[in-house]
A and B are shown apart, each in its own frame.
Chain A
Amino acid sequence: MNPRLNKFKKKNLVYSAGLCVLLLFLSALIPSLRTPLVDIFKLPLNLLNFTRQEIAGIIFYHQHMAQNEELRRENNSLRQKLITLNEIYRENERLNKILSLKQKSSYRAVAAKVIGRAADAWSSVIIIDKGSYHGIKRGFVAINYLGLVGRVIETTLSTSKIMLINDPNLSVSAIIERSRQEGLVSGTLGAYLMMKYLPKEADVKISDVIVTSGLTSAYPKGSLIGTVVDIGEEFLGLSHYCLIEPAVNLSSIEEVLIIIP
């Protein structure tokens, strides 16, 4: 090979290396220069990286497949755990509320879990996991942190039946909190309760809050029943009635507090 050409090539190589070192040196000193440099190398780097990934993917296919399977299993297990934990979190929240209500209440109370519901469609009854052994007797009132739930109608040693306030067999003496107007709240087996025997001139409005009147010792005074959603006139036109949306969601109740007087 021509020694002059060889010398020229070596010279060029040295210049190029020097230029690279200079550029690197400058990019280290002046950060604004780094971005265009990185941009220049981005495409070939991406290309190389893509090729490397693809080759690694082919070589380690089986290893990745096993790893993927394992991760999937782990993901499913974690998801399951997350669902369980969410459920425990919600239960904890509810129990905390019940506990704080129990502590605030001047009455002695027993917390119980709902374990079943009535077998027939003509009554609204829940079965709880506490009975006469825990001090529960017929006639005791059931509440939860939102308001009045119902009344104990039967007890065994370790279970009790509670008639919910939306059962037509249960009537509660109640008042409109704002106007102190009295009435009788009874169930309809539906989503709403009915407050009957309101005089025609009764002061009642939509969104009025209904609470127990405490007229009889059966229910503690001031327990929240619900809010008025509709007002109407009775069939004979002698009195008014109002429909009440219960404060407690009676169809999905899970824990209750039995008040022991």
Chain B
Amino acid sequence: MRNWFFLVTIVILGLLEVTLLNYVRIFNVKPDLLLISLVISSLFFGMKWAFILGVSAGITKDVFAANTFGANTLLFAIWTYLIIKLSKKIAIDNNYTRLPLVFIIALSNSIISRLILLTQGNVVPLGITLRIIFFEPLYTALIFPLVFKYVSPELYSKLIKR
């Protein structure tokens, strides 16, 4: 039940990202809610559902993006796999460890997205590139605790039990 709830949440987060989040842009950058949902699903769901949810988040992002369709889907699947592997090696059970994880994943996602665009001959000035590469992950990581508070699967479980 909570899996389906989370799937709906991903779609809602995607819609929020293309509409309301435009009002909270800082330096023309907004937090990546779909990436946050990917981290949450990778940490709190089993392998199968984590992949389903991660890929769904990737597809949602691709639907609302203008660049190569499938790039985000593929990247999100890879991040899901890596987070699941990492969570088996080290304990990621509080916000102090989740926050750097979100930052690193967002940073890697941003760098690889930029590299994909670079292969297509897409030239962006260095200042703007660096601003997006570093500021977007930072903004995403900082907003993570707030999103996690309302989109936590534990919260869904409690709601369902009630």
Contact = CB atoms under 8 A, between A and B. Distances in A.
A and B together in one complex: yes
Nearest to B122: A168
B122 A169 contact: yes
Contacts of A188: 124-125, 128
Nearest to B136: A121
A124 B132 CA distance: 13
Contacts of A186: 123
A120 B18 contact: no
Interface in A110-129: 115-125, 127
Contacts of B117: 122, 168
Given A188-B128, A189-B132, A117 B14 contact: no
B123 A116 contact: no
Contacts of A99: none
Interface residues of A, number: 24
B66 A123 contact: yes
Nearest to B13: A119
Interface size class of B (residues with CB under 8 A): 20 to 34
A167 B28 CA distance: 13
A121 B122 contact: no
A163 interface: yes
Contact of A117 (B22, B61, B114): B22
B66 A169 contact: yes
B19 A116 contact: yes
A121 B64 contact: no
A123 B18 contact: no
Contact of B67 (A116, A120, A190, A251): A120
A153 B66 contact: yes
B110 A121 contact: yes
A30 to B, nearest CB: 68
Given A189-B132, A190-B28, A120 B125 contact: no
Which 5 interchain pairs have the tightest Cβ spacing? Answer: A119-B64, A116-B18, A123-B66, A125-B66, A120-B65
